[in-house]
Structure 1
Protein backbone atom coordinates (compact mmCIF):
# COMPACT_ATOMS: atom_id res chain seq x y z
CA UNK A 1 0.00 0.00 0.00
CA UNK A 2 1.31 3.53 -0.75
CA UNK A 3 3.02 5.15 2.24
CA UNK A 4 4.04 8.68 3.17
CA UNK A 5 7.85 8.73 3.26
CA UNK A 6 8.53 12.48 3.51
CA UNK A 7 6.76 15.56 4.85
CA UNK A 8 8.36 18.94 4.22
CA UNK A 9 7.28 22.38 5.37
CA UNK A 10 8.59 25.47 3.57
CA UNK A 11 8.03 28.41 5.93
CA UNK A 12 9.58 30.91 3.48
CA UNK A 13 8.65 30.63 -0.17
CA UNK A 14 11.56 29.37 -2.30
CA UNK A 15 13.91 28.93 0.69
CA UNK A 16 14.98 25.64 2.26
CA UNK A 17 12.39 23.32 3.76
CA UNK A 18 12.06 21.68 7.16
CA UNK A 19 11.66 17.89 7.21
CA UNK A 20 8.93 16.83 9.63
CA UNK A 21 7.87 13.50 11.10
CA UNK A 22 4.31 14.77 11.49
CA UNK A 23 2.38 17.84 10.41
CA UNK A 24 -1.06 19.35 10.82
CA UNK A 25 -3.26 19.82 7.77
CA UNK A 26 -4.70 23.31 7.42
CA UNK A 27 -6.75 24.63 4.53
CA UNK A 28 -3.62 26.34 3.21
CA UNK A 29 -1.34 23.30 3.52
CA UNK A 30 1.00 21.84 6.13
CA UNK A 31 1.66 23.51 9.45
CA UNK A 32 3.52 22.74 12.65
CA UNK A 33 3.58 24.17 16.16
CA UNK A 34 6.58 25.53 18.01
CA UNK A 35 5.92 26.78 21.51
CA UNK A 36 2.64 28.69 21.39
CA UNK A 37 3.07 29.65 17.72
CA UNK A 38 1.97 27.85 14.58
CA UNK A 39 4.17 27.94 11.48
CA UNK A 40 2.41 27.54 8.13
CA UNK A 41 3.77 26.49 4.77
CA UNK A 42 4.81 29.50 2.66
CA UNK A 43 3.73 31.93 5.39
CA UNK A 44 6.66 34.21 4.56
CA UNK A 45 7.97 35.46 1.22
CA UNK A 46 10.92 37.54 0.04
CA UNK A 47 9.96 40.53 -2.09
CA UNK A 48 11.86 43.18 -4.01
CA UNK A 49 11.51 46.87 -3.25
CA UNK A 50 8.33 47.03 -5.35
CA UNK A 51 6.74 44.15 -3.45
CA UNK A 52 7.16 41.52 -6.19
CA UNK A 53 8.03 38.04 -4.96
CA UNK A 54 11.51 36.58 -5.37
CA UNK A 55 12.21 32.93 -6.09
CA UNK A 56 15.01 30.55 -7.00
CA UNK A 57 14.16 31.10 -10.65
CA UNK A 58 16.13 34.34 -10.56
CA UNK A 59 17.89 33.99 -7.17
CA UNK A 60 19.10 30.39 -6.76
CA UNK A 61 21.00 31.33 -3.58
CA UNK A 62 17.63 31.44 -1.82
CA UNK A 63 18.13 27.69 -1.39
CA UNK A 64 20.91 28.53 1.10
CA UNK A 65 18.49 30.39 3.42
CA UNK A 66 17.56 27.70 5.90
CA UNK A 67 14.82 28.17 8.49
CA UNK A 68 15.06 25.85 11.50
CA UNK A 69 12.77 25.36 14.45
CA UNK A 70 14.79 26.35 17.49
CA UNK A 71 12.79 25.85 20.66
CA UNK A 72 9.84 28.20 20.39
CA UNK A 73 11.51 30.25 17.64
CA UNK A 74 12.07 30.06 13.91
CA UNK A 75 15.73 30.85 13.21
CA UNK A 76 17.26 31.69 9.83
CA UNK A 77 20.66 30.28 8.88
CA UNK A 78 22.87 30.97 5.85
CA UNK A 79 26.57 30.37 5.09
CA UNK A 80 28.94 32.85 6.77
CA UNK A 81 26.03 34.66 8.44
CA UNK A 82 25.03 34.89 12.12
CA UNK A 83 21.86 33.03 13.04
CA UNK A 84 18.84 35.30 12.90
CA UNK A 85 15.75 34.64 15.07
CA UNK A 86 12.48 35.45 13.33
CA UNK A 87 9.63 36.92 15.33
CA UNK A 88 6.68 34.51 15.46
CA UNK A 89 4.39 36.22 17.93
CA UNK A 90 1.91 38.59 16.35
CA UNK A 91 2.29 40.71 19.47
CA UNK A 92 5.90 41.36 18.42
CA UNK A 93 4.63 42.45 15.02
CA UNK A 94 1.89 44.70 16.35
CA UNK A 95 3.62 47.79 14.97
CA UNK A 96 4.75 46.16 11.72
CA UNK A 97 4.25 48.05 8.47
CA UNK A 98 1.46 46.78 6.24
CA UNK A 99 2.46 45.84 2.71
CA UNK A 100 0.75 44.88 -0.50
CA UNK A 101 2.85 42.22 -2.18
CA UNK A 102 2.52 40.39 -5.47
CA UNK A 103 2.80 36.67 -6.09
CA UNK A 104 2.13 35.92 -9.75
CA UNK A 105 -1.11 37.76 -10.61
CA UNK A 106 -2.33 38.10 -7.02
CA UNK A 107 -1.95 41.19 -4.87
CA UNK A 108 -1.86 40.08 -1.23
CA UNK A 109 -1.93 41.89 2.12
CA UNK A 110 1.14 41.23 4.25
CA UNK A 111 3.30 42.63 7.05
CA UNK A 112 6.91 43.74 6.75
CA UNK A 113 9.28 41.81 9.04
CA UNK A 114 11.59 44.75 9.69
CA UNK A 115 14.88 46.33 8.71
CA UNK A 116 17.17 43.87 10.52
CA UNK A 117 15.71 40.89 8.69
CA UNK A 118 15.75 42.79 5.39
CA UNK A 119 19.44 43.70 5.80
CA UNK A 120 20.37 40.10 6.63
CA UNK A 121 18.52 38.67 3.61
CA UNK A 122 19.78 41.40 1.27
CA UNK A 123 23.36 40.56 2.27
CA UNK A 124 22.84 36.84 1.60
CA UNK A 125 21.34 37.44 -1.85
CA UNK A 126 23.38 40.55 -2.71
CA UNK A 127 20.18 42.29 -3.74
CA UNK A 128 17.80 44.62 -1.91
CA UNK A 129 14.84 42.70 -0.59
CA UNK A 130 12.49 42.47 2.34
CA UNK A 131 10.63 39.69 4.12
CA UNK A 132 6.83 39.75 4.09
CA UNK A 133 4.54 37.69 6.30
CA UNK A 134 1.05 36.78 5.12
CA UNK A 135 -1.66 38.85 6.80
CA UNK A 136 -3.85 36.32 8.65
CA UNK A 137 -6.83 38.62 8.19
CA UNK A 138 -6.51 38.25 4.43
CA UNK A 139 -7.37 35.37 2.12
CA UNK A 140 -5.86 34.28 -1.17
CA UNK A 141 -7.71 31.66 -3.17
CA UNK A 142 -6.34 28.83 -5.27
CA UNK A 143 -7.52 28.79 -8.88
CA UNK A 144 -11.18 27.81 -8.90
CA UNK A 145 -10.77 26.62 -12.47
CA UNK A 146 -8.87 23.67 -11.02
CA UNK A 147 -10.60 23.28 -7.64
CA UNK A 148 -14.00 22.82 -9.26
CA UNK A 149 -15.20 26.23 -8.06
CA UNK A 150 -14.37 25.35 -4.46
CA UNK A 151 -13.01 28.32 -2.51
CA UNK A 152 -9.73 27.03 -1.12
CA UNK A 153 -7.30 29.32 0.66
CA UNK A 154 -3.57 29.26 0.16
CA UNK A 155 -0.77 31.53 1.39
CA UNK A 156 2.31 32.37 -0.71
CA UNK A 157 2.49 29.05 -2.58
CA UNK A 158 2.70 29.19 -6.36
CA UNK A 159 -0.96 28.29 -6.49
CA UNK A 160 -2.19 25.42 -4.32
CA UNK A 161 -1.89 24.29 -0.69
CA UNK A 162 -0.01 21.01 -1.16
CA UNK A 163 2.34 19.38 -3.65
CA UNK A 164 2.70 15.60 -3.84
CA UNK A 165 5.36 13.56 -5.63
CA UNK A 166 6.32 9.89 -5.62
CA UNK A 167 9.62 8.06 -5.25
CA UNK A 168 8.84 5.86 -8.26
CA UNK A 169 8.43 8.90 -10.52
CA UNK A 170 11.81 10.23 -9.41
CA UNK A 171 13.37 6.80 -9.94
CA UNK A 172 11.98 6.79 -13.48
CA UNK A 173 13.49 10.22 -14.19
CA UNK A 174 16.83 9.27 -12.64
CA UNK A 175 17.05 6.14 -14.79
CA UNK A 176 16.63 8.32 -17.86
CA UNK A 177 19.27 10.75 -16.59
CA UNK A 178 21.70 7.86 -16.05
CA UNK A 179 21.03 6.58 -19.57
CA UNK A 180 22.12 10.01 -20.85
CA UNK A 181 25.32 9.88 -18.81
CA UNK A 182 24.07 12.42 -16.28
CA UNK A 183 23.99 12.47 -12.49
CA UNK A 184 20.86 11.56 -10.59
CA UNK A 185 19.02 14.22 -8.60
CA UNK A 186 17.32 14.12 -5.18
CA UNK A 187 13.65 14.74 -4.55
CA UNK A 188 14.32 18.13 -2.94
CA UNK A 189 14.83 19.61 -6.43
CA UNK A 190 11.03 19.38 -6.84
CA UNK A 191 10.22 20.84 -3.41
CA UNK A 192 7.21 18.65 -2.54
CA UNK A 193 5.26 18.76 0.72
CA UNK A 194 4.32 15.08 0.62
CA UNK A 195 6.27 12.20 -0.92
CA UNK A 196 4.68 8.78 -1.41
CA UNK A 197 6.36 5.43 -1.96
CA UNK A 198 4.60 2.32 -3.24
CA UNK A 199 3.11 3.80 -6.41
CA UNK A 200 3.93 3.00 -10.01
CA UNK A 201 5.88 5.71 -11.79
CA UNK A 202 3.60 8.72 -12.36
CA UNK A 203 0.56 6.91 -11.00
CA UNK A 204 -0.15 10.10 -9.06
CA UNK A 205 -1.08 11.70 -12.42
CA UNK A 206 -4.31 9.74 -12.32
CA UNK A 207 -5.23 10.39 -8.69
CA UNK A 208 -8.67 11.69 -7.86
CA UNK A 209 -8.65 11.45 -4.07
CA UNK A 210 -6.06 10.29 -1.55
CA UNK A 211 -7.47 8.86 1.68
CA UNK A 212 -5.33 8.31 4.74
CA UNK A 213 -5.91 4.87 6.16
CA UNK A 214 -6.73 5.32 9.84
CA UNK A 215 -9.42 4.11 12.20
CA UNK A 216 -9.63 7.38 14.13
CA UNK A 217 -9.24 10.00 11.39
CA UNK A 218 -11.13 10.88 8.24
CA UNK A 219 -8.60 12.60 6.00
CA UNK A 220 -9.01 13.06 2.29
CA UNK A 221 -6.81 15.01 -0.10
CA UNK A 222 -8.00 15.86 -3.59
CA UNK A 223 -5.67 16.01 -6.59
CA UNK A 224 -6.61 19.07 -8.62
CA UNK A 225 -3.82 19.97 -11.06
CA UNK A 226 -0.58 18.51 -12.38
CA UNK A 227 2.40 20.62 -11.36
CA UNK A 228 4.08 22.36 -14.28
CA UNK A 229 7.82 22.80 -13.96
CA UNK A 230 10.08 25.80 -14.37
CA UNK A 231 13.87 26.02 -13.95
CA UNK A 232 14.01 25.48 -10.17
CA UNK A 233 14.73 21.70 -10.48
CA UNK A 234 18.09 22.77 -11.98
CA UNK A 235 19.08 24.40 -8.67
CA UNK A 236 21.16 22.30 -6.27
CA UNK A 237 19.33 22.80 -2.97
CA UNK A 238 22.54 22.28 -0.98
CA UNK A 239 24.91 24.60 -2.88
CA UNK A 240 22.41 27.13 -4.24
CA UNK A 241 23.98 26.79 -7.69
CA UNK A 242 22.23 26.11 -10.98
CA UNK A 243 23.34 23.15 -13.07
CA UNK A 244 21.96 20.94 -15.83
CA UNK A 245 18.18 21.20 -15.93
CA UNK A 246 16.39 17.82 -15.65
CA UNK A 247 13.35 19.41 -17.30
CA UNK A 248 15.08 18.90 -20.66
CA UNK A 249 14.73 15.15 -20.07
CA UNK A 250 11.21 15.47 -18.68
CA UNK A 251 10.10 17.37 -21.76
CA UNK A 252 10.75 14.30 -23.89
CA UNK A 253 7.94 12.41 -22.19
CA UNK A 254 6.14 14.64 -19.69
CA UNK A 255 4.50 17.34 -21.87
CA UNK A 256 0.87 17.66 -20.81
CA UNK A 257 -1.63 18.66 -23.54
CA UNK A 258 -4.10 19.79 -20.85
CA UNK A 259 -1.58 22.46 -19.87
CA UNK A 260 -0.60 23.62 -23.36
CA UNK A 261 2.35 21.26 -23.41
CA UNK A 262 3.59 22.24 -19.95
CA UNK A 263 6.16 19.85 -18.46
CA UNK A 264 4.71 18.24 -15.34
CA UNK A 265 6.07 16.40 -12.33
CA UNK A 266 3.89 15.91 -9.22
CA UNK A 267 0.31 16.81 -8.38
CA UNK A 268 -1.16 19.80 -6.59
CA UNK A 269 -3.61 18.91 -3.83
CA UNK A 270 -6.27 20.50 -1.67
CA UNK A 271 -7.65 19.21 1.65
CA UNK A 272 -11.17 17.86 1.18
CA UNK A 273 -11.58 16.39 4.66
CA UNK A 274 -9.52 16.50 7.82
CA UNK A 275 -8.50 20.13 8.31
CA UNK A 276 -6.84 20.25 11.73
CA UNK A 277 -5.80 16.57 11.64
CA UNK A 278 -2.25 15.31 11.91
CA UNK A 279 -0.53 13.27 9.24
CA UNK A 280 2.69 11.34 9.78
CA UNK A 281 5.60 9.82 7.94
CA UNK A 282 4.68 6.14 7.73
CA UNK A 283 0.96 6.74 7.25
CA UNK A 284 -0.55 4.50 4.60
CA UNK A 285 -2.85 5.94 1.97
CA UNK A 286 -5.50 4.72 -0.42
CA UNK A 287 -5.21 6.27 -3.86
CA UNK A 288 -8.54 6.60 -5.65
CA UNK A 289 -7.99 6.94 -9.37
CA UNK A 290 -9.94 9.61 -11.24
CA UNK A 291 -11.16 7.24 -13.92
Structure 2
Protein backbone atom coordinates (compact mmCIF):
# COMPACT_ATOMS: atom_id res chain seq x y z
CA UNK A 1 0.00 0.00 0.00
CA UNK A 2 1.22 3.48 -0.83
CA UNK A 3 1.38 5.94 2.04
CA UNK A 4 2.53 9.46 2.76
CA UNK A 5 5.66 8.85 4.82
CA UNK A 6 7.01 12.39 5.33
CA UNK A 7 5.95 16.04 5.06
CA UNK A 8 8.37 18.96 4.78
CA UNK A 9 7.78 22.69 4.62
CA UNK A 10 10.31 25.43 3.83
CA UNK A 11 8.86 28.73 5.11
CA UNK A 12 11.86 30.68 3.73
CA UNK A 13 13.03 29.84 0.23
CA UNK A 14 16.38 28.00 0.60
CA UNK A 15 16.13 28.00 4.40
CA UNK A 16 16.03 24.91 6.63
CA UNK A 17 13.18 22.43 6.40
CA UNK A 18 10.36 22.21 8.91
CA UNK A 19 9.49 18.52 9.43
CA UNK A 20 5.74 18.12 9.94
CA UNK A 21 3.25 15.47 10.97
CA UNK A 22 0.25 17.30 9.54
CA UNK A 23 -0.38 20.50 7.58
CA UNK A 24 -3.14 22.30 5.70
CA UNK A 25 -3.10 23.03 1.99
CA UNK A 26 -4.13 26.28 0.32
CA UNK A 27 -4.07 27.24 -3.36
CA UNK A 28 -0.26 27.61 -3.29
CA UNK A 29 0.49 24.20 -1.80
CA UNK A 30 1.41 23.58 1.85
CA UNK A 31 0.30 26.47 4.04
CA UNK A 32 3.28 28.72 4.74
CA UNK A 33 5.60 26.92 2.32
CA UNK A 34 8.12 29.26 0.64
CA UNK A 35 6.09 32.37 1.33
CA UNK A 36 9.21 34.27 2.48
CA UNK A 37 12.38 35.00 0.52
CA UNK A 38 15.66 36.90 0.81
CA UNK A 39 16.59 39.27 -2.01
CA UNK A 40 19.58 41.42 -2.83
CA UNK A 41 18.67 44.94 -1.70
CA UNK A 42 20.10 46.71 -4.74
CA UNK A 43 18.81 44.45 -7.53
CA UNK A 44 15.84 42.71 -5.92
CA UNK A 45 17.25 39.41 -7.22
CA UNK A 46 16.35 36.36 -5.16
CA UNK A 47 18.99 34.61 -3.02
CA UNK A 48 19.31 30.85 -2.58
CA UNK A 49 21.79 28.20 -1.48
CA UNK A 50 23.00 27.96 -5.07
CA UNK A 51 24.99 31.14 -4.48
CA UNK A 52 24.90 31.37 -0.67
CA UNK A 53 25.51 27.87 0.71
CA UNK A 54 25.29 29.05 4.34
CA UNK A 55 21.55 29.57 3.86
CA UNK A 56 21.27 25.83 4.54
CA UNK A 57 22.01 26.76 8.18
CA UNK A 58 19.32 29.45 8.35
CA UNK A 59 16.28 28.40 10.36
CA UNK A 60 13.16 30.34 9.44
CA UNK A 61 10.05 28.88 11.04
CA UNK A 62 6.45 30.03 11.00
CA UNK A 63 5.52 31.35 14.44
CA UNK A 64 2.15 31.36 16.25
CA UNK A 65 1.62 35.06 15.49
CA UNK A 66 1.63 34.35 11.76
CA UNK A 67 5.11 35.75 11.15
CA UNK A 68 8.55 34.22 10.82
CA UNK A 69 11.21 33.43 13.43
CA UNK A 70 14.79 33.71 12.13
CA UNK A 71 17.68 31.97 13.85
CA UNK A 72 21.10 30.52 13.10
CA UNK A 73 24.11 29.52 15.24
CA UNK A 74 25.92 32.66 16.32
CA UNK A 75 23.00 35.00 15.57
CA UNK A 76 20.29 36.31 17.87
CA UNK A 77 16.79 35.00 17.24
CA UNK A 78 14.44 37.48 15.61
CA UNK A 79 10.64 37.35 15.37
CA UNK A 80 9.40 39.02 12.19
CA UNK A 81 5.79 40.16 11.95
CA UNK A 82 3.66 39.29 8.94
CA UNK A 83 3.63 42.44 6.77
CA UNK A 84 0.26 44.20 6.86
CA UNK A 85 -1.61 46.06 4.14
CA UNK A 86 0.46 49.21 4.79
CA UNK A 87 3.81 47.48 4.21
CA UNK A 88 6.12 48.84 1.52
CA UNK A 89 6.00 46.90 -1.73
CA UNK A 90 9.42 45.93 -3.08
CA UNK A 91 10.21 45.06 -6.68
CA UNK A 92 11.84 41.63 -6.83
CA UNK A 93 12.97 39.14 -9.45
CA UNK A 94 12.73 35.36 -9.16
CA UNK A 95 13.93 33.55 -12.26
CA UNK A 96 12.09 35.25 -15.15
CA UNK A 97 9.32 36.71 -13.00
CA UNK A 98 9.38 40.33 -11.83
CA UNK A 99 6.78 41.38 -9.28
CA UNK A 100 6.11 43.58 -6.27
CA UNK A 101 5.62 42.01 -2.84
CA UNK A 102 5.53 43.27 0.77
CA UNK A 103 8.84 44.02 2.46
CA UNK A 104 9.24 42.67 6.02
CA UNK A 105 10.84 45.82 7.43
CA UNK A 106 14.20 47.21 8.49
CA UNK A 107 14.81 45.00 11.55
CA UNK A 108 14.48 41.88 9.40
CA UNK A 109 16.68 43.48 6.75
CA UNK A 110 19.43 44.22 9.28
CA UNK A 111 19.36 40.62 10.54
CA UNK A 112 19.40 39.19 7.01
CA UNK A 113 22.14 41.57 5.85
CA UNK A 114 24.34 40.57 8.78
CA UNK A 115 23.78 36.89 8.03
CA UNK A 116 24.27 37.09 4.25
CA UNK A 117 27.12 39.61 4.40
CA UNK A 118 25.66 42.24 2.08
CA UNK A 119 22.55 44.47 2.00
CA UNK A 120 19.59 42.09 1.92
CA UNK A 121 15.81 42.40 2.32
CA UNK A 122 13.25 39.86 3.52
CA UNK A 123 10.01 39.79 1.54
CA UNK A 124 6.70 37.96 1.87
CA UNK A 125 4.31 36.42 -0.65
CA UNK A 126 0.61 36.92 0.20
CA UNK A 127 -1.91 34.71 -1.59
CA UNK A 128 -3.22 37.58 -3.69
CA UNK A 129 0.20 38.28 -5.24
CA UNK A 130 1.07 34.73 -6.27
CA UNK A 131 2.92 33.99 -9.51
CA UNK A 132 1.79 31.79 -12.38
CA UNK A 133 3.48 28.38 -12.54
CA UNK A 134 5.95 27.49 -15.27
CA UNK A 135 4.56 27.99 -18.77
CA UNK A 136 3.73 24.91 -20.80
CA UNK A 137 2.85 22.64 -17.89
CA UNK A 138 -0.31 22.33 -15.83
CA UNK A 139 -3.19 24.78 -16.14
CA UNK A 140 -3.09 28.51 -16.85
CA UNK A 141 -4.81 29.08 -13.50
CA UNK A 142 -2.12 27.24 -11.46
CA UNK A 143 -0.20 29.50 -9.08
CA UNK A 144 2.90 29.31 -6.91
CA UNK A 145 4.58 31.34 -4.16
CA UNK A 146 8.38 31.63 -4.08
CA UNK A 147 9.05 27.99 -5.02
CA UNK A 148 11.08 27.70 -8.22
CA UNK A 149 8.21 26.79 -10.52
CA UNK A 150 5.46 24.71 -8.90
CA UNK A 151 3.74 24.48 -5.51
CA UNK A 152 4.81 21.00 -4.46
CA UNK A 153 7.57 18.44 -4.96
CA UNK A 154 7.09 14.69 -4.47
CA UNK A 155 9.78 12.02 -4.19
CA UNK A 156 9.37 8.26 -3.74
CA UNK A 157 11.37 6.77 -0.87
CA UNK A 158 12.38 3.84 -3.08
CA UNK A 159 13.83 6.28 -5.63
CA UNK A 160 16.13 7.74 -2.98
CA UNK A 161 17.06 4.24 -1.82
CA UNK A 162 18.00 3.33 -5.39
CA UNK A 163 20.18 6.42 -5.73
CA UNK A 164 21.87 5.83 -2.37
CA UNK A 165 22.69 2.24 -3.34
CA UNK A 166 24.34 3.42 -6.56
CA UNK A 167 26.40 6.03 -4.70
CA UNK A 168 27.39 3.57 -1.99
CA UNK A 169 26.25 5.61 1.01
CA UNK A 170 22.88 6.87 2.27
CA UNK A 171 21.73 10.23 0.95
CA UNK A 172 19.48 12.33 3.21
CA UNK A 173 16.10 13.04 1.64
CA UNK A 174 16.47 16.71 2.56
CA UNK A 175 19.24 17.16 0.00
CA UNK A 176 16.36 17.14 -2.50
CA UNK A 177 13.97 19.36 -0.52
CA UNK A 178 10.68 17.56 -1.23
CA UNK A 179 7.34 18.46 0.33
CA UNK A 180 5.84 14.98 0.10
CA UNK A 181 7.56 11.59 0.40
CA UNK A 182 5.70 8.46 -0.68
CA UNK A 183 6.66 4.95 0.34
CA UNK A 184 5.39 1.57 -0.87
CA UNK A 185 6.10 2.04 -4.59
CA UNK A 186 8.97 0.82 -6.75
CA UNK A 187 11.89 3.13 -7.50
CA UNK A 188 10.86 5.95 -9.83
CA UNK A 189 7.26 4.74 -10.04
CA UNK A 190 6.29 8.40 -9.64
CA UNK A 191 7.67 9.08 -13.13
CA UNK A 192 4.60 7.38 -14.58
CA UNK A 193 1.93 8.89 -12.33
CA UNK A 194 -0.37 11.65 -13.58
CA UNK A 195 -2.91 12.07 -10.77
CA UNK A 196 -2.95 11.11 -7.09
CA UNK A 197 -5.32 11.29 -4.17
CA UNK A 198 -4.03 11.71 -0.63
CA UNK A 199 -6.80 11.85 1.95
CA UNK A 200 -9.56 13.87 0.29
CA UNK A 201 -7.26 15.93 -1.93
CA UNK A 202 -6.34 15.26 -5.55
CA UNK A 203 -3.01 16.24 -7.08
CA UNK A 204 -1.74 16.57 -10.63
CA UNK A 205 1.86 15.64 -11.44
CA UNK A 206 2.83 18.23 -14.02
CA UNK A 207 6.59 18.04 -14.61
CA UNK A 208 9.71 16.08 -13.58
CA UNK A 209 12.11 18.06 -11.39
CA UNK A 210 15.48 18.93 -12.94
CA UNK A 211 18.15 18.87 -10.25
CA UNK A 212 21.11 21.20 -9.79
CA UNK A 213 24.26 21.71 -7.77
CA UNK A 214 22.16 22.56 -4.69
CA UNK A 215 21.82 18.79 -4.08
CA UNK A 216 25.54 18.62 -3.27
CA UNK A 217 25.10 20.80 -0.16
CA UNK A 218 24.85 18.81 3.08
CA UNK A 219 21.73 20.16 4.85
CA UNK A 220 23.28 19.42 8.24
CA UNK A 221 26.63 21.16 7.76
CA UNK A 222 26.16 23.46 4.78
CA UNK A 223 29.28 22.01 3.15
CA UNK A 224 29.43 20.96 -0.51
CA UNK A 225 30.30 17.33 -1.34
CA UNK A 226 33.85 17.13 -2.69
CA UNK A 227 32.76 14.30 -5.02
CA UNK A 228 29.71 16.26 -6.32
CA UNK A 229 27.34 13.60 -5.01
CA UNK A 230 24.49 12.90 -5.40
CA UNK A 231 24.38 15.09 -8.51
CA UNK A 232 27.27 13.24 -10.18
CA UNK A 233 25.53 9.86 -9.98
CA UNK A 234 22.16 11.29 -10.98
CA UNK A 235 23.75 12.51 -14.19
CA UNK A 236 24.90 8.97 -15.05
CA UNK A 237 21.40 7.46 -15.18
CA UNK A 238 18.75 10.16 -14.83
CA UNK A 239 20.02 12.73 -17.30
CA UNK A 240 17.74 14.00 -20.07
CA UNK A 241 18.01 16.88 -22.52
CA UNK A 242 16.37 19.01 -19.81
CA UNK A 243 18.68 17.98 -16.98
CA UNK A 244 19.10 15.21 -14.39
CA UNK A 245 15.60 14.40 -13.16
CA UNK A 246 14.70 13.37 -9.61
CA UNK A 247 11.21 13.88 -8.17
CA UNK A 248 7.98 15.21 -9.62
CA UNK A 249 6.46 18.68 -9.43
CA UNK A 250 2.77 18.65 -8.62
CA UNK A 251 -0.24 20.90 -8.06
CA UNK A 252 -3.04 20.32 -5.56
CA UNK A 253 -6.56 20.58 -6.97
CA UNK A 254 -8.19 21.29 -3.64
CA UNK A 255 -7.57 22.51 -0.12
CA UNK A 256 -7.70 20.51 3.08
CA UNK A 257 -5.41 18.65 5.46
CA UNK A 258 -2.54 16.22 4.98
CA UNK A 259 -1.03 13.97 7.65
CA UNK A 260 1.86 11.52 7.67
CA UNK A 261 0.54 7.98 7.30
CA UNK A 262 -2.34 8.84 4.97
CA UNK A 263 -2.94 6.32 2.17
CA UNK A 264 -2.04 7.39 -1.34
CA UNK A 265 -4.09 6.33 -4.36
CA UNK A 266 -2.78 6.58 -7.92
CA UNK A 267 -5.77 7.76 -10.01
CA UNK A 268 -4.00 7.91 -13.36
Are residue 225 (structure 1) and residue 207 (structure 2) matched? yes
Provide the C-alpha distance between the structure 1 equivalents of 2:62 and 2:194, rounded to a whole number of angstroms: 34
Aligned counterparts, 1:1-291, within 5 A: 1-31=1-31, 40-49=32-41, 50-72=43-65, 74-88=68-82, 90=83, 93-147=84-138, 149-178=139-168, 183-212=169-198, 214=199, 217=200, 219-243=201-225, 244-245=227-228, 246-256=230-240, 260-272=241-253, 274-275=254-255, 277-289=256-268
- Alpha-carbon deviations, 1:27-75, whole Å to 9, x = none? 21101xxxxxxxx211111101210001100001111111234443531
Q: How many residues align?
A: 264
- C-alpha deviation, 1:175, in angstroms: 0.3
Instruction: Give the TM-score of the pair, scaled to structure 2.
Output: 0.94
- C-alpha deviation, 1:210, in angstroms: 0.8
Provide the C-alpha distance between the structure 1 equivalents of 2:98 and 2:33, rounded to a whole number of angstroms: 18
Runs of 4+, deviation exceeding 6 Å: none
Q: For structure 2, which runs of at least 5 residues remain unmatched after alignment?
A: none
CA RMSD for the aligned pairs? 1.5
What SS does the aligned partner of 1:252 have?
helix
Provide the C-alpha distance between the structure 1 equivalents of 2:118 and 2:224, rounded to a whole number of angstroms: 18
Instruction: Give the TM-score of the pair, scaled to structure 1.
Output: 0.86
Provide the C-alpha distance between the structure 2 equivalents of 1:85 and 1:100, rounded to a whole number of angstroms: 23
8 Å CA contact 2:112–2:121 kept in 1: the answer is yes
Relative distance call for 1:24 and 1:206 in structure 2 (3 A) is same
8 Å CA contact 1:114–1:131 kept in 2: the answer is yes
Aligned to 1:36: none
- C-alpha deviation, 1:144, in angstroms: 3.9
Provide the C-alpha distance between the structure 2 equivalents of 1:96 and 1:236, rounded to a whole number of angstroms: 36
What SS does the aligned partner of 1:145 have?
coil
8 Å CA contact 2:7–2:22 kept in 1: the answer is yes
18-27 vs 187-196, which moves further: 18-27
Q: For structure 1, which runs of at least 5 residues remain unmatched after alignment?
A: 32-39
